[in-house]
Amino acid sequence: MTNDEILNLRPTWLEIDLKAIQENAKKVMSYAGAKRLIAVVKANAYGHGMAAVAQALLEIGVTDFAVATVGEGVALREKLSQENVTITLLGVQDVKQTPIMVKYRLAPAVGTTAWLEEAMSQITSGQQLNVQLAVDTGMGRMGAHSEAAVKSLYDVIKSSEQLVLSGVFTHFATADDNNETYYKKQVDSFYQWVQAANIPADYWHLANSGSAIWHHNEIDTNTIRVGSVLYGYNPGTPDLPMPFELSSVLSLKSKIGSVHRLETGESVSYGATYTAEMPQWVATLPIGYADGYLRRMSGMKVLVDGHIEHVIGRVTMDQIVITLNKMYPVGTVVTLIGQDGEQKITLEDVANYAKSIPHEILTTLGPRLPRHY
């Protein structure tokens, strides 16, 4: 058996529905009126497994992908070497890695002419670097931040034989909440600056998930650049309902590893924070905060045999203890995220309980969890 096969046997696992990801890609494109999708698969495709997700999207015709780091880009390029597959790097990159970006055909987001000048000095003649012109209209992380700055970046790219423009983009800070004023200001700046610089509309991509869902009428959505919606969850604040239904993608499950009875007055886990008030059945599951089931999840509900039970005592690195209404056999499946009979625990439920957001919950799901597709 290979190491991967052994990892896959672990009685705690993620179930990932790749068809649901394909459906969500189609749904958001059609809802936003998009012709082209840049699929954001950074952070191991938000925890779902970059290679499998990218392959599934490729099968429905998606050929444009975005990741955050050079390392992620290289890993993806090794899976998808096709000529027509583009890979954008969304974050600021270390310019010293330019030769790697050239070799693996990765298109970094670029926000300053100084970065471009230094990159050009590292590109051997006859080779080219694709770049994404980043426009900072209010996110405040990176990018050209004025009409003049956009124009001078575009001028450097246009006049260089070593540089090829792949796109021009901005990123919204408030697309997923109700701050319309800030959003509109970002939209206005983008249009004003790229139009003043004469950058053709074919290059534009603005919409992240929140914009594609709640603002598609206010911006150009020919090309959208989305992550969250692909993975089937509402990217917005809890007061913003989804205007269409997404297919759910991910479940987190574990199997009961041991069952025992607590007598009145007996406690569970570090700190002995939970004490039985009457005799009760409890079960131990082989999952803990090292898997991304956060310490804050103590007290959260889980599903056993179609009904609700709860995590008791502290979440430990590798194990948790749950209540049981009666004895269940070792090996019984417990659902921590997902559906069991009539009951459902969504990723959003888990994120709310942990006072976090779905993105953070997903990207902390550890590499020790096998992904079953």
Ligand X SMILES: *Cc1c(COP(=O)(O)O)cnc(C)c1O
Binding positions for substrate are 141, 317
Does residue 185 carry a catalytic annotation?
no
Interface residue with ligand X among 112, 209, 284, 323 (CB under 6 A) is 209
Q: Of 223-231, 254-262, 321-329, 364-372, which segment contacts ligand X by CB under 6 A?
A: 223-231
Interface residue with ligand X among 226, 246, 297, 357 (CB under 6 A) is 226
Q: With respect to ligand X, which residue has the nearer C-beta, 90 or 102?
A: 90
Q: Does 228 bind ligand X (CB under 6 A)?
A: yes
Q: Does 44 bind ligand X (CB under 6 A)?
A: no
Q: Distance between CA atoms of 237 and 211, rounded to whole angstroms?
A: 13
CB of 169 vs ligand X, minimal distance in Å: 7
Indicate which residue of 158, 255, 270, 353 is catalytic.
270
Q: Does 40 bind ligand X (CB under 6 A)?
A: yes
CB of 270 vs ligand X, minimal distance in Å: 35
Q: Distance between CA atoms of 99 and 87, rounded to whole angstroms?
A: 15
Q: Does 90 bind ligand X (CB under 6 A)?
A: yes
Indicate which residue of 42, 253, 255, 301 is catalytic.
42
**Sites for ligand X among residues 230-259 (CB under 6 A):** 235
Q: Does 347 bind ligand X (CB under 6 A)?
A: no
Q: With respect to ligand X, which residue has the nearer C-beta, 241 or 271?
A: 241
Q: Does 111 bind ligand X (CB under 6 A)?
A: no
Q: Does 112 bind ligand X (CB under 6 A)?
A: no
Q: Does 301 bind ligand X (CB under 6 A)?
A: no
Closest of 84, 179, 164 to residue 131, by C-alpha: 164
Question: What number of helices (H) and strands (E) belong to the chain?
Answer: 12, 20
Does residue 42 carry a catalytic annotation?
yes
Interface residue with ligand X among 225, 253, 301, 371 (CB under 6 A) is 225
Q: With respect to ligand X, which residue has the nearer C-beta, 177 or 318?
A: 177
- DSSP state, 207? B
Specify whether the CB–CB gap between 290 and 318 falls below 8 A.
yes
Angle at 208 between CA 203 and CA 212, to 5 degrees: 95
Q: Give one DSSP letter per residue of 307-368, joined into a string.
A: EEEEEES---SS-EEEEESS---TT-EEEEEEEETTEEE-HHHHHHHTTS-HHHHHHTS-TT
Q: Which residues are annotated as a binding site?
A: 141, 317
Q: Distance between CA atoms of 203 and 200, rounded to whole angstroms?
A: 6
Q: With respect to ligand X, which residue has the nearer C-beta, 121 or 179?
A: 179
Closest of 241, 248, 206 to residue 226, by C-alpha: 206
- The per-residue b/e assignment along 138-170, b for 16 or more CB within 10 angstroms, e otherwise, is beeebbbbeeebbbbbbebbeebebbebbbbbb
Strands 333-340 and 250-255: antiparallel
Specify whether the CB–CB gap between 353 and 297 falls below 8 A.
yes
- Please identify every residue annotated as catalytic: 42, 270
Residues interacting with ligand X, by CB under 6 A? 40, 42, 90, 171, 208-210, 225-228, 235
